[in-house]
Amino acid sequence: MAKTTQLLKGIMEGVILKVISKEETYGYEIYKKLQDYGFEEFAEGSLYPLLLRLEKNKLIKSEKKQSPFGPDRKYYSLTDTGQKEMEEFIEAWDIINGNIQKVWKK
């Protein structure tokens, strides 16, 4: 598990940007989507500091909206800078993944 956690640390910002890029969404919904995608080892408590960092770095923006179920929710969407960062992450990931696949095949 520790090895998986270390690997996830380097990629989760890019993954979260991709999840947010699909539609405006709130924290718990992001967490549930990550779980659905198979990131079961990613703790919900790790998500919110990442969202704060992404917002501080102006990669995402938030807006409080009324929730039909209780208190207001903070909805996140990508900024133009966040869109560019996500695209660069995907390009870098594709290169790294391609290189790893070459190693596995040899």
pLDDT at 5: 75
Of 9, 44, 30, 34, nearest to 78 by C-alpha is 30
**Residue range of the domain that includes 32:** 2-105
pLDDT tens per residue across span 14-64:
999 999 999 999 999 999 999 999 998 898 999 999 999 999 999 999 999
Cα Rg, the chain, nearest whole Å:
15
pTM metric for this prediction: 0.89
Average pLDDT over residues 90-101: 95
Domain count, the chain: 1
Phi, psi (5° rounding) for residue 64? -80, 135
Domain of 89, CATH number, reads 1.10.10.10
Cβ-contact 25, 76 below 8 angstroms: yes
